[in-house]
Structure 1
Amino acid sequence: MFKKFEKLYIFSIFSGIIVLFFVAFPVINTFTWTDFNLVVDAFKDPEIMNTIFRSMKTATITTIISAVLTVPFAYFVVRHDFKGKKMMESIIDIPMVMPHTVAGIALLTVLSPKSFIGKLLVNNGIEVLGTEIAIVIAMAFVSLPLMFDASKEAFKWISPRMENVSRSLGASHLSTFVRVTLPLASKDIVSGMITTWARSISEYGAVIILAYHPMIAPTLIYERYSNYGMLYAVPMAVILLSISLVIFVILRIVSMNKFRRRES
């Protein structure tokens, strides 16, 4: 039996090396592909920096909206069994399996002035297509399921008995949720928010259908690649990748330190 486990571990390590190389090498190679002077020039380009800032801003707004909408709903879904529950969960996960351009087309059928909702928005002077609102909608459509699933997993690990104890001591349902349930689930919820933010800032396919302009970073990177080639696309990709990685790592470290202090 021990030899069989040894073979399994050897295969596990070998497969792990392949996975790490497959993910890490393209990222590392991106940084070595371009001239550092071109990266500095890209940093000085107002169009590039404004576009990256717009991507970060809309991704942050998307993450906040997704968390506000999905966390309470995920809690309800976990705590209740009802007819059609599995079907409803499957429907929420549909955007994760849709091609991104198809997701954009699906949203366009709703927001187009030819549709009921689109016409209603236009008649009330609300412009959506070609605005940052459209960008947030596209980002939310493809990333919201990630936040919902992360929240569900967070609440599944919390025993209802702890909530019942709190309520038996006189706390209301809302107070128990805020003071007991949310703190216990916060680690997984924060991880879900980080994943949602990362997924949002990387979205391209659905966004360009609803709002090619104003541009977000992935759109501008693709445009520069199409018009000028790798020489002008890679420096911007390096900047966006660097900023995203730094923010991602900082958020991970802050969240880990926070929960370590709480556990101690």
Structure 2
Amino acid sequence: MMLAFILLPLGRMFGQQSPAMLATVAAMPDVQGAITLSLEVAMASAVIAAVFGTPLAYLLARSQFRGRALIEAIVDLPLAVPHTVAGIALLFVFGRNGPIGKIAGQLGISFWGTALGILVGMLFVSIPYMVNSAREGFASVDLRLEKAARTLGASPAQVFWQISLPLALRGILSGVVLTYARAIAEFGAVIVLAYYPETAPVKIYELFLSGGLQQSSAAAVLLLSVTLTTFIFFRYLAYGRAARKGRNQ
């Protein structure tokens, strides 16, 4: 029943599309640009989340310290904040009058109505997926392996790069995939912080308001076709290759 609940609306939407309408919408330059922008910025968000989220995940998985539960709650906070609220909150920091927005403005950098604003919105709502998945990956690594490496003379950095990180790689890659998928689907925070340039979800919403269900659903099918293809590919990298490596070992 749950699978049907997920697949039925998507399958119905795909089945209702006509090749002529799909071709018409696919030929629209603004739709092509919106999908490309979403893919590029979502990938950038996933990379940034991996670079900065992985060390935090390792700290949460391996260290016991006062305030750890509070940090975990803060990491999960974007999951509980409505995304339009997140966009408004981000405006107070990255908007023209925000502390970071003012400093960036003096350097000729703007978050309002730019790809950087889209990046900030995507990153804010998707970072919990990266940190939580990577944390689970590090938590699954046997501590005895790390301790054995230390007794053999390995430094903490060597243990991390040669033991912990490779063994937690599946969880990290899973976090990258989930972060990418969540970022590319973001609408609420992005539309508040940077309506233009339009990402694919924003463009689909605009088509729904101006052109009705036919054009918007055709654009949605195009976006889903692209994102599902990349999502399946990244999941294969994260799960398929890791599973084969585990069997070989």
Q: TM-score range by the shorter chain?
A: over 0.9
* Superposed displacement of residue 170, structure 1: 2.3
Q: Which residue of 2 aligns with 1:173?
A: 156
Q: Select the residue among 38, 62, 67 that pairs with 2:50.
A: 67
Q: Which residue of 2 aligns with 1:100?
A: 83
Matched residues in 1 for 2:85 and 2:42: separation? Answer: 20
Match of 1:229, SS state, is helix
Q: TM-score scaled by structure 2?
A: 0.95
Q: Which residue of 2 aligns with 1:46?
A: 29
CA-based RMSD: 1.2
Q: Which residue of 2 aligns with 1:145?
A: 128
Q: Which residue of 2 aligns with 1:21?
A: 4
* Superposed displacement of residue 142, structure 1: 0.3
Q: Select the residue among 217, 221, 228 that pairs with 1:234.
A: 217
Greater radius of gyration (CA): 1
Matched residues in 1 for 2:240 and 2:75: separation? Answer: 32
Q: Which residue of 1 aligns with 2:231?
A: 248
1:34 equivalenced with 2:17 (yes/no): yes
Matched residues in 2 for 1:79 and 1:254: separation? Answer: 26
Q: Which residue of 2 aligns with 1:9?
A: none
Matched residues in 2 for 1:24 and 1:173: separation? Answer: 46
Unpaired stretches in structure 2, ≥5 consecutive residues: none
Q: TM-score scaled by structure 1?
A: 0.90
Matched residues in 2 for 1:226 and 1:80: separation? Answer: 50
Matched residues in 1 for 2:230 and 2:43: separation? Answer: 12
Count of residues paired in the alignment: 247
Matched residues in 2 for 1:247 and 1:179: separation? Answer: 29
Which residue identity does 1:90 align to in structure 2? A
* Superposed displacement of residue 168, structure 1: 2.1
Unpaired stretches in structure 1, ≥5 consecutive residues: 1-17
What whole-Å deviation, never above 9, does each CA across 1:77-109 have from its counterpart, x for those lacking one? 211111111011101111101111000000001
